[in-house]
Every structure is written in C-alpha cells, then in structure tokens.
Amino acid sequence: MSLDILLLSQEETHPFYAGVNAYFTAPLLEGDPLPLEKFSAAPPLGLTLLATELNRRGLAALPLYNFFSREKEVRRLAAALERRPFAACISTTHTFRPETTAAIADLVRRLSPDTALIVGGPGAEWNPALRPAGAYTVLGPGEETLPALIAALEEGRDPAAVPGIIPPGATAPAAPPAPSAAMDSLPFPDWGLYPAAPSGVAVQGSRGCPRSCGFCSYSAPYAARSAGAVLAELRHNRDRWGIRRFRFTDSDFAGDPARALEICRGLEADGGFAWTCFARADSLLRPGLPEALRRAGCQWVFIGVESGSDALLAAMDKGCGRGEMLAGIAAAKGAGLGLHGNFVVGYPGETKSTAAETLAFARVSGLDTVYFSPFQIRSPGIPALAGAQGGLCGGEGAWEHSTMSSAAALACAEDMIEDISADGSAPLIASEALFSLFSGTGAGDYRESVMDFHGALRSWHAARRAGSATGMAEARKRFLRHL
C-alpha cells in the first residue's frame, strides 16, 4: 500500500511552565523510575481528524504521535519512513520547543530525504522558530489547506499560490487561508488508524471561543457542531470501538445551554458514558444545567476562574466576577460534579495584594482541585498585548508590565502552589492534563481516583518538607495504582 502523508505529533510541556510543573514532575521522576507511558497514551484529536479527512479525500495518511517517548511508536515511524511518503506534516498544537520540531525534521530527512516537510498548528503559526528550515507552513485548520498544498506540490504548481501557505524562507502567506468547512461536514475521527483503538478520546463539539478574554489566544473564530452531529459521533465511537469515555475540548461546553441540554438528554437516554468538559462558571448558572450534566455522565468540569480579584477579572474582560464564580461553582457542586479551577497569575495589574485575594478565593471556593498558571504570551495576537494593557510588552519567552514581570509571575505561581499544597484543608493541586490517567466510569470511583492521586502528590511534598524518605516512598506507591 502506498503512503502519501505522515502526520506527526510529539507532545511536550511548555518550558515556560517548568517551574510550576515541578510540583508534578519531581514526585514522578525523582528516585526509581515510574512507568510513565500512560501519560502519552491518548492519540491527539486534531491529528486523527486531519488524517481521517485526508483519507476520505483519497490520500493515504497515517498519524503517529509521541514517538520520542514511546519505543514502539518510533519503530512504527521508522518503518513508515522506509515507505518514502510524499510528505511528512509536523503538528505544533502540543509542541513548543524548536529543538523538537528540528529533531523530527532531521529524522525525516535522514530516513526519507525526498519527503516534503510541512508544519502546521498554532505553535508554528505564532512562532517562526518552530518552523524547520525548508518546511512549508500551513495556517489555520488543515482540512482544506493541506490537500491543496499537496496537490500543488504533486502537480508542480507554485505552492506559494495556495491560500494559507507560508513557503520556506517566507514570513507570510500570499493570501489568508480559505474559510474552514462547516464543522458538521467533517468526518468522525477514525480511531482505528492506530494499532489499538484508545479507551478514552477527545471530542470537539466546537472550535474557538466567542469571548475575547485578554489573556487568551483562542478567541476566534468560533464555530460549533450541531448536537445531533456530536451525539452521532459519540454513538459511533461506542458502537465501533467500545469507547465510552471522552472529554469535550470545547472552550465552554455549557456556553450554549440549549445545545448543551440537547446533548445531555441524548447521553442520559443512552446511558453508560463518562466524560469531562470545560465550562465557564457563569454558564453553569442556567437552572437545571449542572444536574443535566451529571445525569448525562459528566464527572468533572474545568473552570477558568483566573483570579480572585474583581478588579483583575474586569481588567481581563472575563465577563463575570467573584460572586458569579462562587455561585456557578456552588451550583455545579450541588449537582455532584467534580470541579477544577484554573487561575492565571501575573496578568497586567497583578500585585501581591491581588495574588493574596486569589489564594483566599481558592481556599473558600469549594473547588476540588486547582492550578496556578503563570500568565504567558503564547500568541502575539492576545488582546492584552495588542492593547499594551498596563504597559505590557515582550513575547513568549519573557514579558513585563507596570506591576509585574514574567520572572516574578513564575515565582509567585510557585509560591501559591506551595502555599495551597501545604494547607490540608485547601483544594488539591492538579493539572487538567493529568485527568487522562483516570478511567472510572462511575462518579464515585472516578472521584476517588482523582483525589487519591492528587492527594498522594500532596503527601509526597509534605513528606519531603518533613525530610521523611519513608513518607515519600509511601506516596509513590499510591502513584503506582494509577500509572
């Protein structure tokens, strides 16, 4: 069988967050190695969806992911490159270091020198350093642009004429990307493209976000699938591969309450699904919606709280304040949902005083788990930078504004994590990325797993502070139950 296109993804954590993420990495990496392959076991949705669409169009596409962290996958990649594919496409959705994209490009060139190199995803779109030398860059969703680029290369036409393509050595496309196809026209991701279908997957009910919070890179364009299309995909995954666990990637699953309720009614009628989602706290104030989520199988909701300071929430253009945050959290808790809150530390206007407000809010919020994320400029188009809010200047690596610098924000976030971690009555420190480890289909066992794993992290740090090697070892034994 011929192979036209390889779609490649190597997921990694952003180096900007290394300090705050040490809370998670230190217990897992210090001492005897723990089996960590489960962290890289879930195939990425975007890669799978693009491969499915390319195959539907008659191009033979194969997705491979996390090959630098999984021995079997790197062997599959080497075997695929021996077939001399026409093109190798590198995704930067979850890749942040130029060294990583360069290493992928070098491997492709070494094993298949004539294969065309293409890079895409938000990282490459925003950061030219992530574009390997000699690679074409695809802007925006690739379902329309990538096939057009492949056709131009195969037919010997000028690839620079394809809308949304930045040729090697150029800095901008000759024309912007063509409009994306309606989301309901996209195929269901083919999870059978992998050696074994996953037991849990991501589901994309919408793209983008209709809001424009000052810190966010993903505010537009917003497009949503119909409730019927979403339900059909979930049933397809269940019937074909037995997949009953999933997570919605929508920026706010509850943002369109009528659509959310329709999806929930379908899931409740079918029964047996277990899932998580992102939602704004104020979206959860719709009467009956949190209860509908729970009845439909939702186990955990991830809320962008961002700050405990009303002044800072207003500066972010968040659209809701502390009161609505607490009310939304209380409504979801009352329905029996597990809740995670994410906080942004260092946004323009942040001070020691506003950080203290955030710590106080986290303690009394009722959230089960929390994370303190240093403010970052991943995209040059975020509203705060575009408006030079508070004198904000800088970029992805470092920034400063009138009340704080990126270095100070990193230190502040680390201190906040340490402070909450040391408080046994406070919510547990957690990262949304770690929730893929937990597979309980019932509300009780899922919650027990989440709380046990993150509780073991807290215990490990407490034992380290006390200088107890025995306590640290006992905590690591608890990790093993989940890895």
pLDDT for 156 equals 94
- DSSP state string for 140-155: S-HHHHHHHHHHHHHH
| Best CATH choice for the domain 199-437 from the list 3.20.20.70, 3.10.180.10, 3.10.105.10, 3.30.420.40 | 3.20.20.70
Task: State how far the Cα of 283 lies from the Cα of 153, in Å rounded to an integer.
Answer: 46
Helices (H), 271-351: 289-295, 310-315, 322-334
Please tell me the chain's helix, strand, coil percentages from 3-state DSSP, rounded to the nearest 5: 45, 15, 40
Task: State how far the Cα of 404 lies from the Cα of 392, in Å rounded to an integer.
Answer: 9
User: What separation in angstroms does the CA of 182 have from each of 104, 226, 229?
Assistant: 32, 10, 12
Task: State how far the Cα of 47 lies from the Cα of 62, in Å rounded to an integer.
Answer: 9
Which ranges of the chain have pLDDT less than 50? Answer: 1
C-beta atoms surrounding 54 within 10 Å:
23
pLDDT for 2 equals 65
Contact between 183 and 224 under an 8 Å Cβ cutoff? The reply is: yes
pLDDT for 202 equals 95
pLDDT for 1 equals 45
Using DSSP's 3-state secondary structure scheme, residue 7 falls into: strand
Task: State how far the Cα of 48 lies from the Cα of 3, in Å rounded to an integer.
Answer: 16
State if pTM tops 0.85: yes
Statement: 5-166 belongs to CATH 3.40.50.2300: yes
Question: Between vectors from CA 181 to CA 178 and to CA 182, what angle results, nearest 5°?
Answer: 140
Delimit the domains of the chain by residue range.
Answer: 5-166, 199-437
Contact between 311 and 354 under an 8 Å Cβ cutoff? The reply is: yes
What angle, rounded to 10 degrees, do the helices at 257-270 and 227-241 form?
A: 30
Contact between 197 and 188 under an 8 Å Cβ cutoff? The reply is: no
Rounded to the nearest angstrom, the gap between the alpha carbon of residue 101 and the centroid of all alpha carbons in its chain is 19
Task: State how far the Cα of 79 lies from the Cα of 404, in Å rounded to an integer.
Answer: 50
